Structure 1
Amino acid sequence: MDIQRGRTNRRRFLLIAGLPLLTVGAGMTYLLWPEPPRRTEVRTDLEPLNRRLGPFLGELTDAHWLGYDIEDAADDRSIPGPDSRIRVVGVAHLPAGGAAAITGKSDHAFAATGAPSDLPTALKQYLPPDAAWQHSPGFDAYANGQGAAGQASDEIPTGRYLFDTARDLVHFDVLYHFT
Protein backbone atom coordinates (compact mmCIF):
# COMPACT_ATOMS: atom_id res chain seq x y z
CA MET A 1 0.00 0.00 0.00
CA ASP A 2 2.89 2.37 0.72
CA ILE A 3 4.28 1.66 -2.73
CA GLN A 4 0.94 2.65 -4.32
CA ARG A 5 0.76 5.84 -2.24
CA GLY A 6 4.33 6.77 -3.28
CA ARG A 7 3.46 6.43 -6.95
CA THR A 8 0.31 8.51 -6.51
CA ASN A 9 2.21 11.26 -4.70
CA ARG A 10 4.91 11.27 -7.38
CA ARG A 11 2.30 11.53 -10.16
CA ARG A 12 0.51 14.31 -8.31
CA PHE A 13 3.82 16.18 -7.83
CA LEU A 14 4.74 15.80 -11.51
CA LEU A 15 1.30 17.00 -12.56
CA ILE A 16 1.36 19.99 -10.22
CA ALA A 17 4.95 20.99 -11.04
CA GLY A 18 5.06 19.93 -14.71
CA LEU A 19 1.91 21.60 -16.00
CA PRO A 20 3.00 25.16 -15.12
CA LEU A 21 6.48 24.48 -16.52
CA LEU A 22 4.99 23.28 -19.80
CA THR A 23 2.68 26.29 -19.94
CA VAL A 24 5.55 28.74 -19.32
CA GLY A 25 7.70 26.96 -21.90
CA ALA A 26 4.95 27.09 -24.54
CA GLY A 27 4.30 30.78 -23.80
CA MET A 28 7.99 31.68 -24.08
CA THR A 29 8.26 29.78 -27.35
CA TYR A 30 5.28 31.68 -28.73
CA LEU A 31 6.68 35.06 -27.68
CA LEU A 32 10.22 34.42 -28.91
CA TRP A 33 9.29 32.77 -32.22
CA PRO A 34 10.51 35.02 -35.04
CA GLU A 35 7.80 36.89 -36.91
CA PRO A 36 7.57 36.42 -40.66
CA PRO A 37 8.79 39.47 -42.57
CA ARG A 38 6.25 41.81 -44.16
CA ARG A 39 5.88 41.11 -47.84
CA THR A 40 7.78 43.82 -49.65
CA GLU A 41 7.96 42.22 -53.06
CA VAL A 42 7.72 44.92 -55.68
CA ARG A 43 4.82 44.23 -58.01
CA THR A 44 4.83 44.97 -61.72
CA ASP A 45 1.34 43.82 -62.74
CA LEU A 46 -0.69 46.59 -64.34
CA GLU A 47 -4.31 45.40 -64.24
CA PRO A 48 -5.05 46.43 -60.61
CA LEU A 49 -3.46 49.86 -61.14
CA ASN A 50 -5.16 50.56 -64.44
CA ARG A 51 -8.50 49.52 -62.97
CA ARG A 52 -8.21 51.96 -60.06
CA LEU A 53 -5.96 54.76 -61.35
CA GLY A 54 -6.43 54.52 -65.11
CA PRO A 55 -9.73 56.44 -65.32
CA PHE A 56 -8.03 59.70 -64.34
CA LEU A 57 -4.35 59.02 -65.19
CA GLY A 58 -4.61 57.11 -68.44
CA GLU A 59 -3.17 53.71 -69.32
CA LEU A 60 -0.17 53.01 -67.06
CA THR A 61 2.86 51.01 -68.23
CA ASP A 62 6.10 49.80 -66.67
CA ALA A 63 4.86 50.07 -63.09
CA HIS A 64 6.70 49.20 -59.88
CA TRP A 65 4.48 49.27 -56.83
CA LEU A 66 3.54 47.87 -53.44
CA GLY A 67 0.13 47.27 -51.95
CA TYR A 68 -0.23 46.40 -48.27
CA ASP A 69 -2.36 46.90 -45.17
CA ILE A 70 -0.56 49.58 -43.17
CA GLU A 71 -1.86 48.20 -39.87
CA ASP A 72 -0.94 44.60 -40.65
CA ALA A 73 1.52 43.31 -38.08
CA ALA A 74 2.82 40.79 -40.65
CA ASP A 75 1.69 37.90 -38.54
CA ASP A 76 -1.49 35.98 -38.01
CA ARG A 77 -1.38 36.19 -34.23
CA SER A 78 -3.47 39.33 -33.95
CA ILE A 79 -7.18 39.79 -34.28
CA PRO A 80 -8.05 41.67 -37.49
CA GLY A 81 -9.63 45.06 -37.01
CA PRO A 82 -13.07 46.04 -38.24
CA ASP A 83 -11.54 48.08 -41.03
CA SER A 84 -8.31 48.14 -42.97
CA ARG A 85 -6.23 50.76 -44.68
CA ILE A 86 -4.52 49.55 -47.84
CA ARG A 87 -1.61 51.63 -49.11
CA VAL A 88 -0.88 51.46 -52.82
CA VAL A 89 2.39 53.24 -53.57
CA GLY A 90 4.65 53.20 -56.59
CA VAL A 91 5.74 54.70 -59.86
CA ALA A 92 4.58 54.09 -63.42
CA HIS A 93 4.98 55.46 -66.91
CA LEU A 94 2.13 57.32 -68.59
CA PRO A 95 1.49 57.33 -72.34
CA ALA A 96 3.74 59.72 -74.29
CA GLY A 97 2.81 63.26 -73.32
CA GLY A 98 0.46 62.01 -70.59
CA ALA A 99 2.18 63.79 -67.71
CA ALA A 100 2.34 67.09 -69.63
CA ALA A 101 -1.34 66.77 -70.55
CA ILE A 102 -2.31 66.38 -66.90
CA THR A 103 0.03 69.03 -65.47
CA GLY A 104 -0.79 71.48 -68.26
CA LYS A 105 -4.40 71.88 -67.17
CA SER A 106 -4.76 75.30 -65.58
CA ASP A 107 -7.57 74.27 -63.23
CA HIS A 108 -5.21 72.11 -61.14
CA ALA A 109 -2.33 74.64 -60.69
CA PHE A 110 0.64 72.28 -60.57
CA ALA A 111 3.84 73.49 -58.91
CA ALA A 112 7.33 72.07 -58.49
CA THR A 113 7.83 69.92 -55.41
CA GLY A 114 10.50 67.74 -53.87
CA ALA A 115 10.90 64.00 -54.15
CA PRO A 116 8.51 61.75 -52.22
CA SER A 117 9.59 61.59 -48.59
CA ASP A 118 7.79 58.51 -47.28
CA LEU A 119 8.82 56.04 -49.96
CA PRO A 120 9.29 52.38 -48.99
CA THR A 121 12.89 51.27 -49.35
CA ALA A 122 12.00 48.60 -51.92
CA LEU A 123 10.79 51.30 -54.34
CA LYS A 124 13.58 53.87 -54.04
CA GLN A 125 15.57 52.39 -56.91
CA TYR A 126 12.68 52.97 -59.36
CA LEU A 127 12.41 56.74 -58.84
CA PRO A 128 15.00 58.76 -60.76
CA PRO A 129 16.98 60.95 -58.35
CA ASP A 130 16.94 63.92 -60.73
CA ALA A 131 13.20 63.88 -61.51
CA ALA A 132 11.49 67.27 -61.63
CA TRP A 133 8.33 66.38 -59.69
CA GLN A 134 5.19 68.50 -59.93
CA HIS A 135 2.27 68.33 -57.53
CA SER A 136 -1.23 69.78 -57.27
CA PRO A 137 -3.54 69.45 -54.26
CA GLY A 138 -6.38 70.24 -56.69
CA PHE A 139 -5.50 67.24 -58.86
CA ASP A 140 -5.24 65.06 -55.73
CA ALA A 141 -8.79 66.07 -54.78
CA TYR A 142 -10.02 65.44 -58.33
CA ALA A 143 -8.31 62.02 -58.53
CA ASN A 144 -9.54 60.98 -55.09
CA GLY A 145 -13.07 61.99 -56.04
CA GLN A 146 -12.82 60.06 -59.30
CA GLY A 147 -11.51 57.05 -57.39
CA ALA A 148 -14.38 57.27 -54.92
CA ALA A 149 -16.91 57.55 -57.75
CA GLY A 150 -15.84 54.22 -59.19
CA GLN A 151 -15.55 52.35 -55.89
CA ALA A 152 -17.92 50.80 -53.45
CA SER A 153 -19.25 53.11 -50.77
CA ASP A 154 -17.02 51.52 -48.13
CA GLU A 155 -13.78 52.28 -50.04
CA ILE A 156 -12.59 55.81 -49.39
CA PRO A 157 -9.36 56.69 -51.27
CA THR A 158 -7.02 59.49 -50.33
CA GLY A 159 -3.89 59.93 -52.37
CA ARG A 160 -1.07 62.11 -53.56
CA TYR A 161 0.18 62.16 -57.14
CA LEU A 162 3.48 63.55 -58.41
CA PHE A 163 4.35 63.91 -62.09
CA ASP A 164 7.64 64.17 -63.98
CA THR A 165 6.83 65.52 -67.45
CA ALA A 166 10.31 64.85 -68.90
CA ARG A 167 9.95 61.08 -68.33
CA ASP A 168 6.13 60.81 -68.36
CA LEU A 169 6.26 59.35 -64.85
CA VAL A 170 3.65 59.40 -62.14
CA HIS A 171 4.39 58.62 -58.51
CA PHE A 172 1.24 57.62 -56.66
CA ASP A 173 0.70 57.10 -52.95
CA VAL A 174 -2.93 56.19 -52.32
CA LEU A 175 -4.57 54.99 -49.15
CA TYR A 176 -7.82 53.05 -49.45
CA HIS A 177 -9.85 52.91 -46.26
CA PHE A 178 -12.20 49.94 -46.17
CA THR A 179 -14.84 50.07 -43.44
Structure 2
Amino acid sequence: MEYVGTLKFVSRRRWILLGGLVVLSGCASVRTAAPDGAGPDRRKVRRDVEPLQRRFAAVGQLSDPHWLGYNPNDLGRESIPDQDPHIRVVGVARLPAGTVNSIVSVTGYAFEPSAPSQLPEELAEFLPENAEWVSSASYDNHITNSLYPGRFHLAPATDWVYFDTVNPEVVDGSHPQ
Protein backbone atom coordinates (compact mmCIF):
# COMPACT_ATOMS: atom_id res chain seq x y z
CA MET A 1 0.00 0.00 0.00
CA GLU A 2 1.04 3.51 -0.75
CA TYR A 3 0.97 6.40 1.73
CA VAL A 4 0.17 10.01 0.83
CA GLY A 5 1.24 12.25 3.66
CA THR A 6 -0.21 10.73 6.77
CA LEU A 7 -3.22 9.29 4.94
CA LYS A 8 -3.30 5.70 3.90
CA PHE A 9 -4.09 5.14 0.22
CA VAL A 10 -7.83 4.45 -0.17
CA SER A 11 -9.08 2.25 -2.97
CA ARG A 12 -11.29 3.66 -5.69
CA ARG A 13 -14.25 1.56 -4.41
CA ARG A 14 -13.97 3.14 -0.95
CA TRP A 15 -13.83 6.65 -2.44
CA ILE A 16 -17.02 5.93 -4.40
CA LEU A 17 -18.70 4.56 -1.29
CA LEU A 18 -17.63 7.59 0.77
CA GLY A 19 -18.77 9.96 -1.98
CA GLY A 20 -22.16 8.26 -2.13
CA LEU A 21 -22.61 8.61 1.63
CA VAL A 22 -21.72 12.31 1.47
CA VAL A 23 -24.24 12.87 -1.33
CA LEU A 24 -26.98 10.99 0.55
CA SER A 25 -26.36 12.91 3.76
CA GLY A 26 -26.44 16.17 1.80
CA CYS A 27 -29.79 15.24 0.24
CA ALA A 28 -31.27 14.59 3.66
CA SER A 29 -30.32 18.08 4.80
CA VAL A 30 -31.81 19.82 1.73
CA ARG A 31 -35.38 19.57 3.07
CA THR A 32 -36.40 22.81 4.68
CA ALA A 33 -39.24 23.67 6.97
CA ALA A 34 -42.28 25.55 5.73
CA PRO A 35 -42.32 29.28 6.50
CA ASP A 36 -45.02 28.77 9.12
CA GLY A 37 -42.85 26.20 10.90
CA ALA A 38 -45.38 23.44 10.32
CA GLY A 39 -42.91 21.23 8.48
CA PRO A 40 -42.15 20.64 4.81
CA ASP A 41 -45.24 18.61 4.00
CA ARG A 42 -47.79 21.12 5.29
CA ARG A 43 -49.85 22.77 2.53
CA LYS A 44 -50.95 26.34 3.14
CA VAL A 45 -54.58 27.27 2.50
CA ARG A 46 -54.76 30.26 0.19
CA ARG A 47 -57.39 33.02 0.33
CA ASP A 48 -56.60 35.06 -2.79
CA VAL A 49 -59.40 35.14 -5.34
CA GLU A 50 -57.68 36.55 -8.46
CA PRO A 51 -55.97 33.30 -9.66
CA LEU A 52 -59.29 31.45 -9.27
CA GLN A 53 -61.38 34.16 -10.89
CA ARG A 54 -59.17 34.14 -14.00
CA ARG A 55 -59.48 30.36 -14.37
CA PHE A 56 -63.11 29.93 -13.32
CA ALA A 57 -64.68 33.13 -14.70
CA ALA A 58 -67.51 31.11 -16.23
CA VAL A 59 -68.66 30.05 -12.76
CA GLY A 60 -69.38 33.63 -11.70
CA GLN A 61 -68.01 36.23 -9.28
CA LEU A 62 -66.14 34.29 -6.58
CA SER A 63 -65.61 35.52 -3.03
CA ASP A 64 -64.39 34.18 0.33
CA PRO A 65 -62.21 31.45 -1.25
CA HIS A 66 -60.23 28.81 0.63
CA TRP A 67 -58.08 26.72 -1.67
CA LEU A 68 -54.90 24.77 -2.27
CA GLY A 69 -52.65 24.55 -5.30
CA TYR A 70 -50.11 21.72 -5.10
CA ASN A 71 -48.50 18.83 -6.94
CA PRO A 72 -50.25 15.69 -5.64
CA ASN A 73 -47.28 13.59 -6.79
CA ASP A 74 -44.83 15.55 -4.61
CA LEU A 75 -44.23 13.59 -1.45
CA GLY A 76 -42.26 16.40 0.19
CA ARG A 77 -38.90 15.06 -0.93
CA GLU A 78 -36.38 17.14 -2.77
CA SER A 79 -35.81 15.47 -6.10
CA ILE A 80 -35.59 16.17 -9.77
CA PRO A 81 -38.79 18.07 -10.62
CA ASP A 82 -41.44 16.37 -12.73
CA GLN A 83 -41.04 17.05 -16.41
CA ASP A 84 -44.82 17.50 -16.60
CA PRO A 85 -45.99 18.55 -13.14
CA HIS A 86 -49.65 18.20 -12.32
CA ILE A 87 -50.98 20.97 -10.13
CA ARG A 88 -54.19 20.19 -8.28
CA VAL A 89 -56.25 23.29 -7.55
CA VAL A 90 -58.99 22.41 -5.08
CA GLY A 91 -61.14 24.49 -2.75
CA VAL A 92 -64.37 26.32 -2.06
CA ALA A 93 -65.67 29.80 -2.77
CA ARG A 94 -68.92 31.68 -2.39
CA LEU A 95 -70.97 33.01 -5.29
CA PRO A 96 -73.43 35.95 -5.19
CA ALA A 97 -76.87 35.12 -3.80
CA GLY A 98 -79.01 33.25 -6.31
CA THR A 99 -76.16 32.47 -8.72
CA VAL A 100 -76.09 28.75 -8.02
CA ASN A 101 -79.88 28.45 -8.45
CA SER A 102 -79.64 30.16 -11.85
CA ILE A 103 -76.88 27.75 -12.94
CA VAL A 104 -78.66 24.64 -11.63
CA SER A 105 -81.92 25.64 -13.32
CA VAL A 106 -80.36 25.28 -16.79
CA THR A 107 -81.99 22.02 -17.88
CA GLY A 108 -79.25 21.07 -20.35
CA TYR A 109 -76.78 20.51 -17.52
CA ALA A 110 -78.84 17.82 -15.73
CA PHE A 111 -77.42 18.40 -12.24
CA GLU A 112 -77.62 15.49 -9.82
CA PRO A 113 -76.85 15.10 -6.11
CA SER A 114 -73.14 14.56 -5.50
CA ALA A 115 -70.49 14.86 -2.85
CA PRO A 116 -66.94 16.19 -3.11
CA SER A 117 -64.41 13.37 -2.91
CA GLN A 118 -60.76 13.27 -1.89
CA LEU A 119 -61.14 16.43 0.18
CA PRO A 120 -57.76 17.58 1.52
CA GLU A 121 -57.92 17.73 5.31
CA GLU A 122 -56.65 21.33 5.25
CA LEU A 123 -59.94 22.39 3.62
CA ALA A 124 -62.44 20.38 5.68
CA GLU A 125 -63.18 23.20 8.12
CA PHE A 126 -64.08 25.61 5.29
CA LEU A 127 -66.85 23.57 3.66
CA PRO A 128 -70.34 24.71 4.61
CA GLU A 129 -71.98 22.31 7.04
CA ASN A 130 -74.86 20.20 5.75
CA ALA A 131 -74.44 21.49 2.20
CA GLU A 132 -76.50 19.60 -0.36
CA TRP A 133 -74.09 19.44 -3.28
CA VAL A 134 -75.05 18.88 -6.91
CA SER A 135 -72.84 18.44 -9.96
CA SER A 136 -73.05 17.87 -13.68
CA ALA A 137 -70.50 16.49 -16.14
CA SER A 138 -71.92 18.83 -18.80
CA TYR A 139 -71.40 21.83 -16.53
CA ASP A 140 -67.85 20.66 -15.74
CA ASN A 141 -67.08 20.51 -19.47
CA HIS A 142 -68.58 23.98 -19.94
CA ILE A 143 -66.34 25.48 -17.24
CA THR A 144 -63.16 23.68 -18.32
CA ASN A 145 -63.94 23.88 -22.04
CA SER A 146 -62.72 20.25 -21.94
CA LEU A 147 -59.12 21.54 -21.74
CA TYR A 148 -58.31 20.11 -18.30
CA PRO A 149 -59.86 17.71 -15.78
CA GLY A 150 -62.16 19.39 -13.31
CA ARG A 151 -65.19 18.75 -11.13
CA PHE A 152 -67.45 21.49 -9.80
CA HIS A 153 -69.96 20.84 -7.02
CA LEU A 154 -72.56 23.50 -6.30
CA ALA A 155 -74.65 24.06 -3.16
CA PRO A 156 -77.87 25.86 -4.22
CA ALA A 157 -79.06 26.70 -0.69
CA THR A 158 -75.80 28.37 0.31
CA ASP A 159 -74.34 29.57 -3.03
CA TRP A 160 -71.02 27.77 -2.51
CA VAL A 161 -68.94 26.10 -5.20
CA TYR A 162 -66.43 23.34 -4.51
CA PHE A 163 -63.87 22.88 -7.29
CA ASP A 164 -61.32 20.14 -7.82
CA THR A 165 -59.17 20.57 -10.92
CA VAL A 166 -55.81 19.61 -12.37
CA ASN A 167 -53.76 22.21 -14.25
CA PRO A 168 -56.70 24.62 -14.71
CA GLU A 169 -56.27 26.99 -17.63
CA VAL A 170 -57.76 30.39 -18.24
CA VAL A 171 -60.92 29.74 -20.28
CA ASP A 172 -63.08 32.48 -21.76
CA GLY A 173 -66.82 32.24 -21.32
CA SER A 174 -69.71 32.72 -18.97
CA HIS A 175 -72.52 30.54 -17.80
CA PRO A 176 -75.90 30.93 -19.49
CA GLN A 177 -78.55 32.69 -17.43
TM over 0.5: yes
After TM superposition, the structure 1 = structure 2 runs for residues 37-56 of structure 1, keeping only pairs within 5 Å, are: 37-54=40-57, 56=58
Distance 2:3 2:136 in 1: 81
- Hey, what does 1:152 align to over in structure 2? none
Per-residue deviation, 1:90: 0.2
- State whether structure 2 residue 91 is matched by structure 1 residue 96: no
Change (3 A) 1:140 1:79: closer
Residues paired across the two proteins, number: 161
Output the TM-score relative to the length of structure 1.
0.76
Distance 2:162 2:71 in 1: 19
Q: Secondary structure of 1:84's partner? A: coil
CA contact (8 A) 1:84 1:177 kept: no
Distance 1:8 1:38 in 2: 46
- State whether structure 2 residue 167 is matched by structure 1 residue 167: no
Residue-by-residue CA offset, 1:118-137 (whole Å, 9 max, x unaligned): 01110011112311001111
Per-residue deviation, 1:64: 0.2
Distance 1:128 1:111 in 2: 19
Per-residue deviation, 1:107: 0.7
Per-residue deviation, 1:42: 0.3
After TM superposition, the structure 1 = structure 2 runs for residues 71-150 of structure 1, keeping only pairs within 5 Å, are: 71-81=73-83, 83-113=84-114, 115-145=115-145
CA contact (8 A) 2:31 2:78 kept: no
5+ residue gaps in structure 2?
A: 33-39, 170-177
Per-residue deviation, 1:116: 1.3
CA contact (8 A) 1:60 1:94 kept: yes
AA of the residue aligned to 2:131: A
Q: Which is higher, the Rg of structure 1 or of structure 2?
A: 1
Q: Which has the higher helix share?
A: 1
Distance 2:157 2:120 in 1: 24
Distance 1:171 1:121 in 2: 14
Per-residue deviation, 1:85: 1.5
Residue-by-residue CA offset, 1:60-80 (whole Å, 9 max, x unaligned): 000000111233343442243
CA contact (8 A) 1:85 1:177 kept: no
- Hey, what does 2:63 align to over in structure 1? 61
- Hey, what does 2:22 align to over in structure 1? 26
CA RMSD of aligned residues (A): 2.8
5+ residue gaps in structure 1?
A: 1-5, 149-155
Output the TM-score relative to the length of structure 2.
0.77
Distance 1:144 1:21 in 2: 51
AA of the residue aligned to 1:157: Y
- Hey, what does 1:153 align to over in structure 2? none
